């Protein structure tokens, strides 16, 4: 296996044993990017010399932390002092933050190399970016964390940061064939993130292996690393088709049912799981909360540079300004009531199994980054979600399955995800 194909945890072990240097790993990633970037277009900014200088300094010095020498991509909605941060908007062309975001500083404190900035959709919203799906350049990589999903899915970098407000971590990871974690709301400090919805925005992680997600979450949140080998036996699994099951294509439905059967064959106790009463509204009216908050988060841009906002985002902001405070508060109350109900229902469940996306990545010609219908409710619930590559759709593109756990049970969910990946292999 070539260095750029290694997962973050395995690469970290080899670096610690002296079998691999950070410089060699970063160089291999840069070579992969040079070979593939014209087609995939995953990167907003790369500075080869800056990346290699970080790697060489780490190779010369003492081990800094669990991610010593490991390159990361950073979604270009997250501030970096060493590289431009433009949010994929002409309004911020050439913008250089004075400080790193808290999550970037945490990665560096753990020894990570900041390889570059990955492409985001405009202000992490719905306007498609220039990035292409690494498995078929005629298809979308998803969004809004387009570049992070594509870069990890194409073995350009072992891991990357993204953000999710609706479905912007789990869905693109599924489309691009990578693993990913949307942690519990608030798990990773958001200082230095260009916020678009303060009650929803969540920093997430893309990686090749579940153990990579564990290592990164530990570095970013301080959560204790679990013994992954301790997860087994007969986990209690809720098969959650959701009230929007009919929107999943036939391949996705068959894939999820097959995954449930294989988990049962590996010892899981699988039973149907229905979401709490009233949860239908979370699927259909997530946009009330997101629209209200996004319009106000981008108030300055909307007022002073309306001509530099895309034709697809501008109407969404117009709509968000029409949402009145009573409607926003009412929807937040619904979400809070559903959160309490879900917490109660998950007490006897180890994890839920549910779709990551309605199907394969859509064609670019459709002009969409895909439908977040199987993500929005979980984001509103604030619970941790993991997507695992699992199966292929009718066009041969990757599918995923999503595991959902109880709020703040992130490491336990990752432990069960490690078990599930083996059972599904």
Distance CA 89, CA 397 (A): 30
Q: Which of 89, 129, 140, 144 is catalytic?
A: 144
Please give the biggest Cα pair distance in the chain.
60
Which run of H or E residues covers position 244? none
Q: Are 216 and 179 in contact (CB under 8 A)?
A: no
Distance CA 241, CA 229 (A): 28
89 tagged catalytic: no
144 tagged catalytic: yes
Residue 354, judged by CB atoms within 10 A of its CB (0-12, 13-18, 19+), counts as buried
> Helix or strand or coil: residue 190?
coil
Of the candidates 78, 109, 71, 73, the residue with the CA atom closest to the CA atom of residue 190: 78
Token code pair at residue 165: 């407000």
Q: What are the distances in angstroms from CA 352 to CA 111, 142, 224, 262, 408?
A: 34, 23, 22, 15, 15
135: Cβ–Cβ under 8 A, 6 or more apart, which residues? 153, 176, 177, 361, 396, 397, 398
Distance CA 278, CA 23 (A): 53
Distance CA 71, CA 8 (A): 8
Q: What are the distances in angstroms from CA 95 to CA 226, 300, 372?
A: 40, 16, 30
Q: Which of 22, 129, 168, 310 is catalytic?
A: 168
Question: Residue 158 has what DSSP assignment?
Answer: S
Q: Which of 75, 117, 194, 421 is catalytic?
A: 75
Q: What are the distances in angstroms from CA 182 to CA 31, 52, 207, 297, 312?
A: 29, 29, 12, 22, 26
Residue 142, phi-psi category: left (phi > 0), alpha (psi -120 to 50), beta (remainder): left
168 tagged catalytic: yes
Distance CA 195, CA 207 (A): 23
Catalytic positions, please? 75, 144, 168
């Amino acid at each position: 296996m070539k260095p750029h194909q290694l997962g973050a945890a395995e690469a970290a072990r080899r670096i610690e044993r002296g079998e691999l240097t950070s410089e060699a790993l970063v160089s291999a990633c840069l070579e992969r990017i040079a070979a593939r970037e014209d087609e995939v277009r995953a990167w907003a900014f790369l500075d080869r010399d800056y990346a290699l200088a970080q790697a060489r300094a780490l190779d010369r010095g003492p081990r800094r932390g669990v991610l010593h020498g490991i390159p990361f991509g950073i979604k270009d909605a997250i501030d970096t002092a060493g590289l431009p941060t433009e949010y994929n908007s002409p309004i911020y062309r050439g913008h250089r933050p004075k400080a790193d975001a808290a999550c970037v500083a945490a990665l560096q404190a753990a020894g990570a190399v900041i390889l570059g900035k990955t492409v985001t959709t405009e202000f992490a919203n719905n306007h498609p970016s220039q990035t292409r799906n690494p498995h078929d350049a005629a298809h979308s990589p998803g969004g809004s964390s387009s570049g992070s999903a594509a870069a990890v899915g194409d073995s350009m970098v072992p891991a990357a940061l993204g953000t999710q407000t609706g479905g912007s971590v789990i869905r693109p990871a599924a489309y691009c064939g990578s693993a990913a974690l949307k942690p519990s709301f608030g798990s990773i400090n958001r200082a230095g993130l260009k916020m678009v919805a303060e009650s929803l925005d969540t920093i997430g992680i893309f990686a090749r292996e579940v153990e990579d997600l564990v290592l990164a979450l530990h570095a970013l949140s301080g959560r204790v690393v679990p013994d992954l080998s301790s997860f087994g036996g007969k986990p209690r699994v809720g098969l959650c088709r959701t009230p929007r099951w009919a929107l999943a294509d036939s391949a996705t439905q068959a894939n999820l049912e097959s995954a449930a059967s294989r988990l049962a064959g590996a010892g899981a106790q699988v039973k149907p799981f229905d979401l709490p009463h009233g949860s239908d509204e979370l699927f259909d009216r997530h946009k009330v909360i997101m629209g209200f908050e996004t319009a106000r988060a981008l108030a300055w841009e909307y007022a002073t540079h309306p001509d530099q906002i895309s034709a697809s985002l501008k109407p969404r902001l117009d709509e968000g300004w029409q949402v009145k405070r009573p409607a926003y508060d009412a929807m937040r109350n619904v979400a809070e009531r559903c959160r309490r109900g879900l917490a109660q229902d998950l007490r006897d469940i180890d994890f839920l199994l549910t779709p990551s996306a309605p199907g394969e990545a859509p064609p670019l010609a459709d002009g969409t980054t895909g439908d977040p219908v199987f993500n929005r409710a979980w984001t509103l619930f604030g619970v941790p979600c993991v997507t695992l590559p699992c199966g292929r759709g009718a066009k041969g593109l990757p599918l995923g399955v999503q595991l959902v756990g109880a709020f703040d049970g992130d490491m336990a969910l990752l432990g069960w995800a490690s078990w599930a990946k083996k059972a599904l292999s």
